[in-house]
A and B are shown apart, each in its own frame.
Chain A
């Protein structure tokens, strides 16, 4: 599993037997479009071109001039993330079914361990569940619930042996997952040495906690308290801080869940300054806005609760699409994490207890087409880039995924850019009883989906099998993220100024500075394992003056030396 084998090791016989020829379509990659037939065998694209010579008995699919695009990659799903021990209603089976029905042929799910648990164990547990249930290829991000020395070894194993190259850190969820800036700095340094991409949940948790307290005290307990306690400034602030730390450490930063205009703009500006940073808006932020939090229907309002929240500014989706189109944002995820209304109702009297997450896995590709490509904001190539290719490049899946080329995996979608679909919970694959996009019309739907060389979706019908999804390991140091980082590490050498030794007078510091009581660093917790106390660089209990010939002469401690013994030396001459 850990190897870089280009094809999955778990080849299932019935998959490999299928041979497929997709005829008469326009192949759309992120760089160009061209008319060609695609021949698929053993789950791999074997030939791309015109007038292909193929064996007899091959199933032929007529694309009829429609687009043939690489299957979508959804980089942000939570299909196994339990809330208070109850799992989401869309598990790996339900979720990947929805993904395939929407044209997404690979997901990267978040492994979310609780603080104090072993990352490796939880990862293996996730992998086990996914192997049993997934209908499409998958990979995993691992979230780091807290930072300590023990985590480092596990991270090393995950990167080097398990094929994980992306880890999420949290700046929100105070007293639970939140890391301090010091921890973020250490985590970023460590992960960039391993060659991993750092995913950041960017919200200022300290301020959120304060705002939540305030809002509950004001008597606001409904879902509208959620966006009120998480204004978009707090998101933008955290994005800014994350980028600053990433840039200091020289580590690629990937901002998950870009939900607001100001956060997106912050990211854009950082890219202008050359920071290696990527941004991922979600289906929800691209298709709807936060006005629903004020809905009179509690269930509808609660369904939209996700963090960071949808922005109440109705122009947000437009703005985010514009930034996606021009390349300032790179990847579209779904943040799919589906909880039933009954589960959401745990927070019926306190919005802070509402489990967070919305749907969006099935609708993701459609809305990007509808809101951006169909309006002429982006072209079909950019559409492929943001829904699949960029994700494959950032997370080192390229060119196995995210491209239609000879040798790539046969994850292919025939896309009808003109068909219109109305989104409703009644017709969706997801098990949710309420869809936050309920009733919206969406232009652009997949008509046929090929996953691992097998037709899994055709004529609005799914033909999937639980457990056919393979785990795709990802190697560290993805070129797309790390080429610049590696070069910068080489060029940015910091050098000390070579000076003679300072030999002028030195003020005599009282050996016990009276006012420093070393304050315990705030994050030391008696119960959890913590790194050794950090050296306090401001604290000094030694005298730098050394033994002097006049040590026997009593001297005041606040004494300014005007004429040092031996006269002023050259190195400190003040002229």
Chain B
């Protein structure tokens, strides 16, 4: 609980995401708008059960609403019921987040058609893959921010972590969890949009199942550290899959690592 913990956890949780933002998104104003719009959209599911952050926010709002109604309608002293309701709320919010991701996909498709119609040479200035990537980062940043920011604010103040017998690594594990979640959202964005574009339903189902698995794993273990490893494994799988879908390959990777003459990078193709 000091500045050291604060900065450490901030950089662990948000460092990779902000560097992604800086290097790939910050220079193009259109991408910034898509990022912020996506994050708002993601908020909706949270609130009911709860230009990208907007969509996540709306989904958060909607899912918190559902949870709130359910809680009010139930007995507040029934512990297992409350926990069950919470789990239900989280699952519902996961489903709603994916639904909002789909809605956002539809909105971005319309936007691309508009941009193509208005452009000089019939090409949109931004492709759907880039939008998928930016949308994923937006969702991820917003969900990460919502989960970490109160923790970070508390980390600045006085106190001792785990003094009552809980895990002493709570802040650290939360930070790592947030980081993996931001990455996961990014990759899920790419996978999801690719699945929607090419009508491959199993990709969409895989994204939803992964999301449920990651959320569910955090409930199952009391120690919370145990859910980190599966999440990282899932992230690696999603990363490789998204990379392959974006046109990457082992040769590209090798050439990139050897700094050879090609532009292999883990970003979606423009």
Question: Are these two chains actual partners, yes or no?
Answer: no
